[in-house]
């Protein structure tokens, strides 16, 4: 809660800065109208006005409130805020509106409505990637707040993951698989836009591949079981080769169990390969496993990191001040202890599993932004150079018509405004969890009372071969 209040204070500070720039603008107008610049004062004033207007921040006004309500798990109240303030995110933040609202609906258990909002987010992403050249140049020259929020690369991929879980909760395995499969193509498409030396470390999603395996296995046909084995194998390789080193996430035990089951079904060679890798992992044969019900718990834990502005002030060759701005993430504190998922049958038999980390969204966000920083700084440097040459041309024109004092006054005012105008974009999908954890119970057919971390979460009647999903959100 403290982190959210701090971010709200940051927004308030930016609003004060915006008001302060109004005073600077008024002072500039006074200087111009006093005769210092004369009849051509509109030239310098228009430059200052354009920079001031284009630098106004567009962080969603109600997003901190939505975030606070999600922390408090007051999802219905958060949805009421969306309803009461339809313009609270502004047009430039329409994508964030769809993302935040879609996830809040998901957390509230309104999966069909969540699907609708997240589909709108996908459509908005598509439109933003084909934005006009005019808007692109404007954002390049002034700052990124002049353009609509396009989202971080990993945020786009998370849309498919939450859509897959939406469909899984509705029992629509076919559509859930479509979303999970789209993750690979989406990550690949995102990375193709970057030069070889600038591609993201986040080039595949191990959790999505594990989820694909679970969904394929649920379908049950021979072809689907073969695809499940391939998905589990690729998921394990992703955890070992990517997630372990970059995000400190090892392959979950449930993935190893599932992989051993399907490897045994595939044949002796595949089974020998993974049995040697997972000597201490117990598992069931496919025939025995199909006599059980599989109950999966998806646990969203913590809150994703918040973006804060950072900058470097440099002295240019002509004595001008140059501000290079870039965002940084600050991770939010949360309880990272594994939790216990428990099922108790009517005759008192208890079955438990401890949640395991499957997706470290917080670590992915931090790593992704750190990699992108060089691109952000390069863009900021180019923007400063463009402004310098633009200001130089205007100054020379003013000096030609009105003398050196007028030119110096313009340069001083424009320099102050540029320092303010160079702002970094700190917009983000704030309602995301920090982690996605997973637990799985193999249960005999029957009735069970379910609990999580000692708290009742419902009652389930399960049959052989059934797969059920439960979703829990904690801070």
As a whole number, mean pLDDT of residues 256-260 equals 98
**CA quadruple 183, 187, 190, 192: dihedral, nearest 10:** -130
Tell how many helices (H) and how many strands (E) occur in the chain.
Answer: 17, 10
- Kindly report, residue by residue over 428-468, the tens digit of the pLDDT: 999 999 999 999 999 999 999 999 999 999 999 999 999 99
Rounded distance between C-alpha atoms, residue 154 and residue 364, angstroms: 7
CA 380 – CA 424 distance, rounded (Å):
9
Tokens of 350: 């208890």
Confidence of residue 37 (pLDDT cuts 50, 70, 90): very low
Task: Report how far apart the first and last C-alpha atoms of the chain are (Å, whole number).
Answer: 10
Give the tens place of pLDDT for each residue, 62-98: 999 999 999 999 999 999 999 999 889 989 999 999 9
Strand-pair partners of 298: 438, 471
- Specify the pLDDT at position 53: 45
Tell me what pLDDT residue 137 has: 43
Q: What is the pLDDT of residues 261-288, one digit of tens each?
A: 999 999 999 999 999 999 999 999 999 9
- Average pLDDT value for residue range 368-380: 75
Confidence bin at 241 (pLDDT 50/70/90): very high
Q: Are 148 and 59 in contact (CB under 8 A)?
A: no
Q: In this structure, are residues 99 and 151 in contact, taking their beta carbons and an 8 Å threshold?
A: yes
Confidence of residue 26 (pLDDT cuts 50, 70, 90): very low
More confident residue, 31 or 210: 210
**d(C-alpha 205, C-alpha 199), whole Å:** 15
Residue from 438, 256, 202 nearest 338 by CA: 438
Q: What is the pLDDT of residue 24?
A: 38
What is the DSSP secondary structure assignment for residue 147, as one 8-state letter? S
Give the span between the Cα atoms of 150 and 205, in whole angstroms: 20
What is the C-alpha separation between 358 and 264, in angstroms, rounded? 24
pLDDT of residue 317: 64
Range 381-406 burial, b when 16+ CB lie within 10 A, else e? eebbeebbeebeebbeebbeebeeeb
When comparing pLDDT for 169 and 10, which is higher? 169
Q: What is the dihedral of CA 414, 419, 424, 425, to 10 degrees?
A: -50
CA angle at residue 449 from 252 to 359, to 5 degrees? 20
How many residues make up the chain in this entry? 475
The count of C-alpha atoms lying within 13 angstroms of the C-alpha of 436, restricted to the half-sphere facing its C-beta, is 20
């Amino acid at each position: 809660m403290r982190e959210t209040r701090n971010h709200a204070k940051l927004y308030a500070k930016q609003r004060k800065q915006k008001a302060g720039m109004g005073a600077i603008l008024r002072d500039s107008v006074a200087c111009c109208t006093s005769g210092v610049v004369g009849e051509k004062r509109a030239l310098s004033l228009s430059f200052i006005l354009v920079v001031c207007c284009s630098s106004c921040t567009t962080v969603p006004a109600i997003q901190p409130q939505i975030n606070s309500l999600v922390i408090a798990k007051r999802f219905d109240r958060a949805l009421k805020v969306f309803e009461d303030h339809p313009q609270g995110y502004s047009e430039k933040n329409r994508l964030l509106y769809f993302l935040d609202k879609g996830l809040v609906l998901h957390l509230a258990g309104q999966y069909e409505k969540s699907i609708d909002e997240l589909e709108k987010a996908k459509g908005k992403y598509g439109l933003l990637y084909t934005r006009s050249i005019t808007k692109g140049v404007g954002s390049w020259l002034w700052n990124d707040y002049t353009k609509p929020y396009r989202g971080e690369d990993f945020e786009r991929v998370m849309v498919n993951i939450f859509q897959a879980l939406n469909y899984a909760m509705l029992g629509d395995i076919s559509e859930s698989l479509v979303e999970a499969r789209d993750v690979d193509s989406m990550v690949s498409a995102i990375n193709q836009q970057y030069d070889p030396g600038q591609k993201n470390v986040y080039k595949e999603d191990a959790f999505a591949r594990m989820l694909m395996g679970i969904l394929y296995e649920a379908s049950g046909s021979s072809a689907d079981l073969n695809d499940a084995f391939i998905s589990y194998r690729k998921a394990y390789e992703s955890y070992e080769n990517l997630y372990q080193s970059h995000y400190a996430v090892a392959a979950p035990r449930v993935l190893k169990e599932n992989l051993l089951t399907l490897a045994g079904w595939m044949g002796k060679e595949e089974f020998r390969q993974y049995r040697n890798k997972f000597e201490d992992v117990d598992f069931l044969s496919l025939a025995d496993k199909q006599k059980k019900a599989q109950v999966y718990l998806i646990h969203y834990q913590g809150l994703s990191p918040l973006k804060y502005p950072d900058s470097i002030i440099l002295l240019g060759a002509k004595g001008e001040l140059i501000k290079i701005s870039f965002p940084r993430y600050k991770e939010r504190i949360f309880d990272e202890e594994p939790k216990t998922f428990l099922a108790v049958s009517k005759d008192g038999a208890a079955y438990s599993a401890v949640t395991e980390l499957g997706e470290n969204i917080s670590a992915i966000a931090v790593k992704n932004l750190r990699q992108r920083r060089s691109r952000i700084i390069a863009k900021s440097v180019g923007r400063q150079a463009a402004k310098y040459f633009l200001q130089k041309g205007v100054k020379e024109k003013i000096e030609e018509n009105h003398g050196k004092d007028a030119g110096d006054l313009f340069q001083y005012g424009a320099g102050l405004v540029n320092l303010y105008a160079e702002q970094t974009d700190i917009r983000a999908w704030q309602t995301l969890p920090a982690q996605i954890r997973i637990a799985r119970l193999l249960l005999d057919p029957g009735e069970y009372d379910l609990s999580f971390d000692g708290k009742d979460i419902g009652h389930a009647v399960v049959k052989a071969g059934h797969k059920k999903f439960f979703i829990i959100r904690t801070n």
